[in-house]
Structure 1
């Protein structure tokens, strides 16, 4: 692109080499200037402008600051470089109309672009609402009337605002305070006390950190317990609330129980979820499981046959521990033998 193409878009300032895309033309000397030199150039026709041009020529004025306190911007009229003259005839009246368009519509003051609106400065005139705001005020007054008719007791009620909140920074707990923590011995010197306290703190912190961190097996076990406790039903509907023992149960044989101990998978159908009170005797749990599973009891002729004897086996799989099988003693309570979240099997012919 040549310099001629660039100059065709804007005009070069008569003082500096800047090409201004929005140039200003001086009404006195008719030369083109940028925004920095339009008021600072040495205009040769300034002295004769008032007599030759007459009242129809707009007078260039100095930059006027915005009257809002703390604002360093100039007014919109100063940017345009004109001031309105009320006694200047028809042309001055046109200039006054232009100045009126950029001034505040309420008080008529000259402000910058940011503070021109009534809400941006301390306007002495009534606020000039637009149609949208008037519609909002109308809807709000109508809603207040409806609420006053519907809830007359709540019309004058004021909703208290909560007090302002602030963040409270709590200091960390001291390592030598009470509440189960070991304090320094009064017989030790200060250096020994400080070193001993530091060593105790350093040895106690890793232990607390390790106790809070659960392994993957412990997390899976916790999920299993939550699901079991939410879906379990009482094995005895007559039992009242109390300390409960949750478990899964099913019927099987010796071979399936040993396969579970080796592989950890139960291949004998779906297990039921139930609970009993912890003080329930294991013998009663056996009777309840026989009734719930509709298992036939040994007859009088086969009662002495070990292959027909019904027994309870607890399959327990604690987290981070090997799986185990245990034959339950029917004379002991459930809390001493049934593992929380374990599997209780009703088997026939258990000889171990």
Structure 2
């Protein structure tokens, strides 16, 4: 390699701004809070003690009275939002956690809920692992196909 090519290779990447690190990183991370450049070891706010970070910002506040998690905007402090929640009588600003509902087995008395359903290729309904075969869930389409055809 020529001297000019070595200089070009050294100009790629940036040095970590964490005191005492100064590591040359070819894929550096930019902190969204302080806008400084960091290596992989110091990329998180708590890893480089970000001066613009509100450490409570990453935590979800909880109501001291009702115990519910409280939703808040990006420009609101946790204390302000908890106060607003308390003033509403513990009714407003509650964080709703949407859980993905599982699929329920189509068989009448089966109460199985499954994350990944087995879809019958004949009737196109969801079934649990125990009722996944057409014979096990007494598939109407398969019963119709099995009936003898009468030729007149």
Is TM (by shorter chain) over 0.5? Answer: no
TM-score (norm 1): 0.18
TM-score (norm 2): 0.35
Judging by fraction of residues, say which structure has more helix.
1
